[in-house]
Amino acid sequence: MAERSVGARTWALPSRPVIAGAANAAGRKEGEGPLKDTFDAVCPDDTFGQSSWEKSESEMQRLALTGALARAGISPERLSALFAGDLLNQCIGSSFAARTLGAPYLGLYGACSTMGEALTLAALTVDGGYGDWAAAAASSHFCTAERQYRTPLEYGCQRPPTTQWTVTGAGAVVLAREGKGPRVTHVTPGRVVDLGITDTNNMGAAMAPAAHDTLSAHFQDTGRSPADYDLILTGDLGDLGRQLLLELFARDGVDLSPNCTDCGLLIYDRERQDVHCGGSGCGCSAAVFTGHILRGMAAGRWRRVLFCPTGALHSPTSALQGESIPGICHAVALEAPGREEEDHGVS
Amino acid sequence: MAERSVGARTWALPSRPVIAGAANAAGRKEGEGPLKDTFDAVCPDDTFGQSSWEKSESEMQRLALTGALARAGISPERLSALFAGDLLNQCIGSSFAARTLGAPYLGLYGACSTMGEALTLAALTVDGGYGDWAAAAASSHFCTAERQYRTPLEYGCQRPPTTQWTVTGAGAVVLAREGKGPRVTHVTPGRVVDLGITDTNNMGAAMAPAAHDTLSAHFQDTGRSPADYDLILTGDLGDLGRQLLLELFARDGVDLSPNCTDCGLLIYDRERQDVHCGGSGCGCSAAVFTGHILRGMAAGRWRRVLFCPTGALHSPTSALQGESIPGICHAVALEAPGREEEDHGVS
């Protein structure tokens, strides 16, 4: 195998690309939740000053990207590549945001795993020597997702208890070859895993097996165990999906519970905000990672983090045709500055 | 800039990844066209034995992938990554094909530029040392595209003369570090270019400025001129888009006409097959590249080829909201074995 492959599925990144800048933006409900102080911009009416929800989502992603670029101290033209995606048909949230920037654009579709996929490919671009800077971004918007995937907002549909609430949020990161932020040390791209779940109101159950698959591969490839991470953060399995993930690992004799949580459980107050199983959407893990997590790493709260966004790769059409829901999970290992010695033993 | 960047936007690939295997599949109309002998599989009723058009498209992409893997002589588990995409909402053509393979999967959305984006990222994965094999695939299906983007097939809508015909086709490539096939020497990822075209029945006009932008960057970055290529092959600009591209280059004092053609013009007999401006869809450039082009390179017809799939990054929703159509084009430079000496002077 090539020198940067570790085990069957993990890539070690010898240059350890640095998060040189990150930013996010979120909607009103997210701005009223427990992570409200970790968002760079909160729009009180979720419109971001635009005339349609789709344009609002695109503007929100643009805000996150320009914020991340400003913190990295570079203009968009200096990006070697921008990797971005969202949940909208034909990914218009991202392509219209990219239109304003003029950077080389590689559009992604990874459903709610998109921020993990984008970080993986941006890190590979920088680590491989294909430029000094690359960006990763993802977004979702409650109002665009509801009308595209479910029913018009005006219907006020009831939701079963297993559902999650699509986050209005976006996050963006600029990776660089040099700098002082947290570093990406390893990535484990996911494969499509489908255990036959067909209930589109229970995405957590559909995605948990993919998270189990990718995390297991990551631990096996790197020789690390869950205890080697201060935080293992899945994308948006929500409450039910997280329980299933813990159960799958328990069957392997591994206790994942002490340091594993989920972006979908962090972003809302489930007692007070009526979101059933928690948050979801590409913007959930993107906004939580670029706010709460990176701020926590900067403050020394967590040194080594495994960020594992999960996605459900179905569509309304595939669901109507009776197909089950394939899941995917991409894992990105990060390290705050100051643990160089330990890392080198592993990679 | 990093060592693998050439100029502002092009990446040189020092290891020159090899096309170790390629395959395609196509529908009846394509199988009756001038490239009929270059398809590995043609399905006479376009169903590929499936019960819905979406499942047919997925099966067609799976056929292309398994064919490419067989020719490369590897099992899917040995792939370091599979990059794939299609035109369907949430890219279910690709994710359901990937579900059958078990390889790490990175889903893309690049509209009809997808094969260029997938080849770019697969080449980067192999060249960067992140594994010995990576795959690229893309597909489109006339029947899934018509009902998703336009009107139900049964309506038999009339089409204006500027329209193109969505190709029922799929193509897949396996790239490797070592081997005897054509090599990928450079890639120039595209940026989003939008000159304000709003007519969704005239995609060629929307995409031509993006092709002009990427090709110009490629020539400037590499110091090459159009004459350095035996063939410059755009994705699916069609007849009108190609004329506009030639006009844009003519304004720069560059005559692109002698060695430039378009996949959308090659795949059908426009006199006989009633396709107006030509073919389109992710599957158009994917099926033409993996058949006609790679066979021609193997036969010595072309030594140096610049493959430039183009995409229109809009959606039905963005069109209804009055948005213009952003275009993108990714350029991939290939070299048949035997011109090593000349290359090394350039990269």
The domain boundary, picked from A176, A197, A232, lies at A176
**Helix (H/G/I), strand (E/B), else coil: A187:** strand
Helix (H) or strand (E) holding A139: strand A133-140
Nearest CB partner across the interface for A1, out of B90, B132, B148: B132
Mean pLDDT of B176-191: 96
Residues B86 and B211 grouped into a single domain: no
Beta bridge partners of A22: A173
Residue A344: is its pLDDT beyond 70?
no
**Helix (H/G/I), strand (E/B), else coil: A105:** strand
Count of structural domains within chain A: 2
Residues A207 and A335 grouped into a single domain: yes
Residue B347: is its pLDDT beyond 60?
no
Q: What residues have CB less than 8 Å from A42, skipping those under 6 apart? A: A25, A26, A27, A28, A30, A31, A36
Residue numbers in B near A317 (CB within 8 A)? 54, 88-89, 92, 148
Q: Confirm if A36 and A42 have CB atoms less than 8 A apart.
A: yes
Q: Residue A337 CB: number of other CB atoms within 10 A?
A: 14
Residue A347: is its pLDDT beyond 90?
no
Which two three-digit tokens encode residue A67?
A: 């914020």
Residues A197 and A170 grouped into a single domain: no
Residues A170 and A198 grouped into a single domain: no
Do A99 and B192 lie within an 8 Å CB cutoff? yes
The reply to whether A242 falls in a domain is: yes
Residues B28 and B168 grouped into a single domain: yes
Helix (H) or strand (E) holding A99: helix A92-99
The Cα B299–Cα B296 span in angstroms is 5
Query: What is the distance between the terminal CA atoms of chain A, rounded to a whole angstrom?
Result: 15
Q: What is the pLDDT of residues A126-162, one digit of tens each?
A: 999 999 999 999 999 999 999 899 888 888 888 889 9
The reply to whether A3 falls in a domain is: no
Beta bridge partners of B334: B184, B305
Nearest CB partner across the interface for B129, out of A3, A107, A192: A3
The domain boundary, picked from A156, A176, A196, lies at A176
Residue B172: is its pLDDT beyond 70?
yes
The reply to whether A10 falls in a domain is: no
The reply to whether A21 falls in a domain is: yes
Model pLDDT, residue B1: 39
Q: What is the pLDDT of residues A33-73, one digit of tens each?
A: 999 999 999 999 999 999 999 999 999 999 999 999 999 99
Q: In angstroms, what CA-CA distances link B283 with A251, B70, B307, B314?
A: 43, 20, 14, 18
Residues B49 and B164 grouped into a single domain: yes
**Which residue shows structure tokens 């209930």?**
A199
**Which residue shows structure tokens 């396996």?**
B174
Q: In angstroms, what CA-CA distances link B144 with B59, B235, B310, B333?
A: 13, 20, 20, 31
Residues A43 and A135 grouped into a single domain: yes
Q: What is the pTM of this model?
A: 0.96
Do B95 and A192 lie within an 8 Å CB cutoff? yes
**Helix (H/G/I), strand (E/B), else coil: A262:** strand
* CATH code for position B21: 3.40.47.40
Residue numbers in A near B2 (CB within 8 A)? 80, 129-132, 177
The reply to whether A300 falls in a domain is: yes
Residue B300: is its pLDDT beyond 80?
yes
Cα-based torsion angle of the residue sequence B335, B337, B340, B345 in order, rounded to the nearest 10 degrees:
-10
Residues B10 and B140 grouped into a single domain: yes
Helix (H) or strand (E) holding B106: strand B105-108
Four-residue CA torsion sign, B249, B250, B252, B258 = positive
Average predicted confidence (pLDDT) for chain B: 94
Model pLDDT, residue A158: 85
Residue B342: is its pLDDT beyond 70?
no
Residues B155 and B232 grouped into a single domain: no
The domain boundary, picked from B108, B141, B176, lies at B176
Mean pLDDT of A5-33: 96
Q: What is the pLDDT of residues A236-258, one digit of tens each?
A: 999 999 999 999 999 999 999 99
Q: What is the pLDDT of residues A198-242, one digit of tens each?
A: 999 899 999 999 999 999 999 999 999 999 999 999 999 999 999
Residues B51 and B74 grouped into a single domain: yes
Chain pair A-B, CB pairs under 8 angstroms: 207
DSSP A3: T
The reply to whether A1 falls in a domain is: no
The reply to whether A46 falls in a domain is: yes
Do B313 and A52 lie within an 8 Å CB cutoff? no
**Helix (H/G/I), strand (E/B), else coil: B302:** coil
Measured in whole angstroms, the distance separating CA B115 from the mean position of its chain's CA atoms is 4
Residues B34 and B135 grouped into a single domain: yes
| Domain range for B338 | 183-346
Residues B108 and B217 grouped into a single domain: no
ipTM comes to: 0.96
Give the pLDDT band (50/70/90) at residue B294: very high
**Which residue shows structure tokens 């059409």?**
A317
Interface of A with B in 14-53 (CB under 8 A): 51-52
Q: Confirm if A297 and A282 have CB atoms less than 8 A apart.
A: no
